[in-house]
Amino acid sequence: MSTQQPWTGVEIETSFFPLSFFLYACTPTITIDGVPQRRPWGTHRIPLSGGMHNIRVYFRYLFMEQCGPAAINVVVQPNCVHRIKYEMGVFMFSPGSIREISPPYRFV
């Protein structure tokens, strides 16, 4: 039987209000410490080193470069996975919300 190997990082879930189904055509950008990466809506596991990290999420929509921006600072601890949730609001021109949703998974 194999044991789960410990890793350090964040699990980021991006979502939006169900009636805003047209947002499936927009791809969110997750920026960690100034390095952007485009990821589809859903849950993504991103390995990070321990320490303070700035996480910012937004997406492009029509003429807007950054729609629904939200940011959070997370102190990532070794052998822990921190769960982050980003939710786009109901209105397109309002900021999204981002938060840490539970205590981190700790691998021992």
pLDDT tens-digit readout, 42-87: 999 999 998 999 999 999 888 878 888 999 999 998 888 999 999 9
The full DSSP string for 76-97 is EPTTEEEEEEEE--SSTTS--E
Q: What is the pTM of this model?
A: 0.85
- Asked if residue 35 has pLDDT above 90, the reply is yes
Determine the average pLDDT of the residues in 79-99: 88
Query: What are the backbone dihedrals phi and psi of residue 48, each rounded to the nearest 5 degrees, phi first?
Result: -140, 155
